[in-house]
Every structure is written in C-alpha cells, then in structure tokens.
Amino acid sequence: MRERQLLEDGISAVRRIETELSDNIELIEMGEEEGDAEVVADAEGSLRKLLEEANRQQVEAMLSGEADSNDTYLEVHSGAGGTESQDWANMLLRMYIRWAERQGYKVDVMEVHDGEEAGIKSATILVKGHNAYGWLKTESGVHRLVRISPYDSNARRHTSFSSVWVYPVIDDSIDIDVNESDCRIDTYRASGAGGQHVNTTDSAVRITHIPTGIVVQCQQERSQHKNRAKAWDMLRARLYEAELQKREEAANQEAASKTEIGWGHQIRSYVLQPYQLVKDLRTGVESTSPSDVLDGAVSPFMEAALAHRIDGSAGSEVDDID
C-alpha cells in the first residue's frame, strides 16, 4: 500500500506540472495579446516556481536505491582544532536540521557531545521522512570552513574541518544479523540538560562492533533499556550502510569510506572571509550566499551530487540560492 501511494503521488505530481505549464503558457499568450504586462509577469513567476518543482521531481525519480526512501541517521564530528572545529560542527548540525525542516521532515536528536567552551564534539540526529536517506546520502564527507574566528582576539582567519556521516534506518524489509559476542556494550551518564535522572544514572549506551570498529551511541531516552534498543538499531543501520558502500565501491572502482578529517579530503568548502563562497569540490556547484546555505539551502548541492553520482555529469553554478 505504501508503494502504491508513492506511485500515485508521483503520477499526480507529473500531471499537475503538465496542467500548470499549459495554463501558464496560455496566460502569457493572452497577456501578450491584450498588452497586460502584469499578467505576463505573474505567469512567468509561476513558471519559475514550476521549474523548481520539476527539478525536484526529477531528483526524486533518481532516488531508486534499496534504502533511498528510508529515514536516515546523520552524524557530525568535529575535526582537529578544538573550539574552532567544534563550533563549525555545531553550525553544520544546525544547517542540516534547518534543511530537514524546509523539506517537511521530522528530526530527533539521538545524542550530542558538547564542546568544552562552545559547539559540539559530535552529534547524531534521526531524520524522518520519505526519501530522507536518498537526499542526504551524498553529504557524507569532510566539510571545510574558512572565516575570521570569533574566538581569536587577533581576528585572524582560521580553517576548520568537520565530518558528516549518513546511513539509512533499517526497516522490516531488510534483515541484518548481528552477533552480540562481537560487540562491546558500555553505559555512561548522559551529558547536557535533562534533569536529575539523566545526570545521576548511567542511562546512555555505547555499542562497539569489534570486527568493523563501528561505534554507535544513544542518550536520547531517560531509560537505559530504550537507549540500548535504539543503539542496536543504529548499529544495524551502520552495518547495512557499510555493505552498501562495498557494493558501490565494487561497481565504481572507487573508495567510499570515511577519511581523515583534514586537508585533501573535503567534499565542500564554505568561505566566509575574505570573500563569500560555498563550493562543492565534486560537482563544481557554487553559491555566493553562504548565509543562505548555512540556513538550510543545501538542496542544489544535493541535486548536483546525485546527478553526478548517477551519470557523472557536473553540476552547474548557482549564484544565489534562495
């Protein structure tokens, strides 16, 4: 029934675009015949919005992978550099939360490790919505920030790095067996706000999968039992993502694993000073409005990366992202 509903939604979206295209073309023709510039301008504005919707539907059509339609986990980790990179990690986390809200997705914060002075050391969120993993899967990698540091009394320019890692939620249609003897389970006190219970009991859970070195942790719930169950779900998701990466590597003959958080491994650069530019180093897509991008306008970069992954085509420049 879910698949049927998705197909019906896709078909109705295409038919609606066709109808609105025809209606607006007729309005433009009528406006030109009657010399009504306002009608023509309104119809042209509607066509521009329709083009954005058509482009989005085109990207949605690319999301046909095994887990593309699933919910997804997204992790952010700060790189070397202390407060600078931890603040940058927090900015990235906010960017993705804002993007998810724009998409109409629901976001649950699974765990956050705060920095000593500002920002975060790491965080994991769960993004819920149709095609959440499909949209976000190309965001895995190292993100580089160049700016005048607000933490430097000499106002010097700093370069910071943080990494993003995305992996899908495993639903009932995918069976992942994990041998518990291969895992180490640790409990610890949750950090951050949450009341007396959170601060005085070992409710947070960390699971380490020894054969692969994968580590997951959850402190969202007040109950250790609930956190343990969610951590197991996260581990299964990470193991499934690792298998997907192996398949892609075999098909494309290129590595798709985590890399060092530093120079030479970044997928996107965000420059705030001395000029303003966000550039995706894989596709060439650019934006001269970093404030908009950091406020959640990331979709053009995702669209270009998805197209690049599928057919190898390079993205086009985006001057101002709305």
For residues 221-240, give the mean pLDDT.
85
For residues 238-260, give the mean pLDDT.
62
**pLDDT of 172:** 61
**pLDDT of 227:** 87
Q: Where are the domains of the chain?
A: 2-62, 180-252
**pLDDT of 229:** 87
Over 80: is that where the pLDDT of 153 sits? no
User: Is the model more confident about 250 or about 235?
Assistant: 235
User: At which residue do the structure tokens 């993100």 appear?
Assistant: 143
**pLDDT of 319:** 39
Specify whether the backbone of 89 is left (phi greater than 0), alpha (psi in -120 to 50) or beta: alpha
Confidence bin at 45 (pLDDT 50/70/90): very high
Confidence bin at 321 (pLDDT 50/70/90): very low
**pLDDT of 149:** 85
Q: Is 266 exposed, middle or buried (0-12, 13-18, 19+ CB in 10 A)?
A: buried
Most confident range (mean pLDDT) of 33-37, 81-85, 286-290 is 286-290
Confidence bin at 222 (pLDDT 50/70/90): confident
The type of residue at 66 is E
User: At which residue do the structure tokens 């609930």 appear?
Assistant: 226
Residues 6+ apart with CB under 8 A from 197: 203, 222
Q: What is the DSSP letter of 181?
A: G
Over 80: is that where the pLDDT of 237 sits? yes
**pLDDT of 276:** 95
Confidence bin at 248 (pLDDT 50/70/90): low
The type of residue at 253 is Q
**pLDDT of 192:** 60
- The CB density around residue 310, as the number of other CB atoms within 10 Å, is 12
Confidence bin at 318 (pLDDT 50/70/90): very low
Q: Is the domain defined by 180-252 classed in CATH 3.30.160.20?
A: yes
